[in-house]
Amino acid sequence: MRRVAVTGIGAVTPIGLGADGLWAGVLANRSAVRAVDRFDASPFPSRIAAQIDDFRPLDHLDVKRARRLDRFSQITVAAARMAIEQSCLSEADHGDGRTGVWIGSALGGVAFGEEQHAAYVERGVRAVSPTLATAVFGGAGASNVAIDLGIRGPAVGNANSCASGAMAIGQAFHAIRAGIVDVALAGGAEAPLAPLTFGAFAMIRVLSQRNDDPATASRPFDADRDGFVMSEASAVLVLEAWESAERRGATILGEVGGFGASTDAYHLTAPLPSGEAAAAAVTTALADAGMAAAEIGYVNAHASSTQLNELAEAKALRLALGEHGRGVPVSGTKGLYGHPLGASGAIEAAITVMALRNGLLPGTCNLVTLDERCELNVLREPMQARPSAALSTSFGFGGMNAALVFRA
């Protein structure tokens, strides 16, 4: 089985654009959460989010392409272009049918569908965009990346809730390792900031209601956390067969070592309290990488800033990593950029790769008082360290669990 290198990272996030912008946002250790101004959020108990305010489609796409794509596909294609640019892949390198695309998203183009429904109700069918049908189908992100870049291998979209981005990277990794493709663009994207879409989560009270202090609302592992903060973002990684990357002289940023997935089969919104199924995903990823738990030197946790999920995740990490799980450095980076649902696993994979490469483990923004029930070594501030391997976990509605192992 072939080794799989990471040779490019693209990102569109509330804390920065591109690999360098994302890393600069991590180093700043400052939350991007603020009051929602995209729409009137006053009817909802939560009125805060992490918005991307510096993304201009025409900086990344031509006028015709930008007009045809909704925001979800715009940020997906932009991140893919950034990743390709950093990897220095030429069209000849990815246009031969040996390159694929794997993009995950919990909601895809549903916010655009909401916008078009409002236009239909107000002004009738003639007011509806002809691109609606192609914006809301599940494979829109992967298809638009493939069309934009001329990629003719597999183009796969998944909707595995908040584990979507990690699932996409894991599936692409396995496809390269098995020889199905040589190169893959893999990641996740989410653009859910529309009133009904946002309100659906607010109404089931999973969102933070710290409206008077938005910057401290997303607080992973903190004893005073009260829910997650909705966000929009995209991140795409270029994965490449190691020998292919070496042959063309690519800069190798890191290595994907293993992938594991499982399902709680328990509840649509609550995690299995014991953490057993989530632990199984981690154990599978470690076995897939041929590694022992003690080799993991850092964990970028899913850490959504919710009570139930983080307690279950902490149990899962202790089960999967054993006694080592109590001492290994852990951070939750959603304190910086909120929770962009299906994009989060891809963003956190990118951050994990850069942490290993740069020898700096991120802190956990807004962590003031650690919830002692978690029994983990959670980093408040960034820490200099050069572990040889790291783990990134992603968990979502429906009991979807995914774990990725990376090597420096």
pLDDT in tens, 207-238: 999 999 999 999 999 999 999 999 999 999 99
Residue matched to tokens 């790291």 = 390
What are 121-154's pLDDT values in tens digits? 999 999 999 999 999 999 999 999 999 999 999 9
Judge whether 113 lies within some domain: yes
Same domain for 208 and 226? yes
Same domain for 248 and 173? yes
- Tell me the pLDDT of the chain averaged across its residues: 96
Residue range(s) defining the domain that contains residue 43: 4-254
At residue 104, the 3 state secondary structure works out as: strand
Task: Compute the chain's Rg from CA coordinates.
Answer: 20
pLDDT for the residue numbered 97: 80
Residue 96 has pLDDT above 80, yes or no: no
Residue of 254, 333, 325 lying closest to 295 (CA atoms): 325
157-194: burial string, b at 16+ Cβ within 10 Å, e else: bbbbbbbbbbbbbbbbbbbbbeeebbbbbbbbbbbbbb
Judge whether 408 lies within some domain: no
Q: Tokens standing for 288?
A: 């897939």
Residue 93 has pLDDT above 90, yes or no: no
How wide is the angle at C-alpha 271 spanned by C-alphas 268 and 273, nearest 5°? 140
**Which of 254, 286, 309 is the endpoint of a domain?**
254
Residue 405 has pLDDT above 90, yes or no: yes
Same domain for 292 and 361? yes
Same domain for 268 and 227? no
pLDDT over 70 for what percent of the chain?
Answer: 100
- 328 — pLDDT class (breaks 50, 70, 90): very high
Q: What is the CATH number of the domain that holds 286?
A: 3.40.47.10
pLDDT for the residue numbered 31: 97
pLDDT for the residue numbered 207: 97
Contacts of residue 4, defined as CB under 8 A and 6 or more positions apart, other chains included, come to 173, 176, 177, 239, 240, 241, 242, 255, 256
pTM reported for the whole predicted model: 0.97
Same domain for 396 and 373? yes
Q: Tokens standing for 18?
A: 């591109």
pLDDT for the residue numbered 121: 96
Question: Structurally, how many domains does the chain consist of?
Answer: 2
Could you tell me which residues are beta bridge partners of residue 389?
407
| Across 317-328, average pLDDT | 96
Same domain for 193 and 275? no
Same domain for 129 and 236? yes
318-327: burial string, b at 16+ Cβ within 10 Å, e else: bbbbeebbee
Same domain for 75 and 172? yes
Residue of 341, 342, 362, 343 lying closest to 352 (CA atoms): 362
The Cα-based distances of 332 to 53, 183, 298, 362 in angstroms read: 23, 29, 11, 8
Residue 321 has pLDDT above 90, yes or no: yes
**Which of 190, 221, 254 is the endpoint of a domain?**
254
State the amino acid at position 258 in one-letter form. G
Same domain for 159 and 227? yes
Locate the DSSP E strands across 69-137.
Answer: 99-104
pLDDT for the residue numbered 376: 97
**Which of 219, 254, 289 is the endpoint of a domain?**
254
Same domain for 196 and 285? no
| Residues 377/286, Cβ–Cβ less than 8 Å | no
Strands 183-190 and 233-241: antiparallel
pLDDT for the residue numbered 92: 73
pLDDT for the residue numbered 301: 98
Other CB atoms within 10 Å distance of the CB of residue 37: 12
Q: Which residues are catalytic?
A: 162, 302, 339
At residue 8, the 3 state secondary structure works out as: strand
Same domain for 344 and 389? yes
Residue of 393, 8, 54 lying closest to 185 (CA atoms): 8
Same domain for 190 and 156? yes
Sign of the dihedral through C-alpha 121, 125, 128, 131 = positive
Other CB atoms within 10 Å distance of the CB of residue 377: 14
Judge whether 29 lies within some domain: yes
| Across 331-354, average pLDDT | 98
Contacts of residue 140, defined as CB under 8 A and 6 or more positions apart, other chains included, come to 72, 73, 108, 109, 134, 157
pLDDT for the residue numbered 65: 92
Judge whether 92 lies within some domain: yes
Residue 352 has pLDDT above 90, yes or no: yes
The Cα-based distances of 34 to 55, 66, 307, 367, 385 in angstroms read: 17, 27, 22, 18, 32
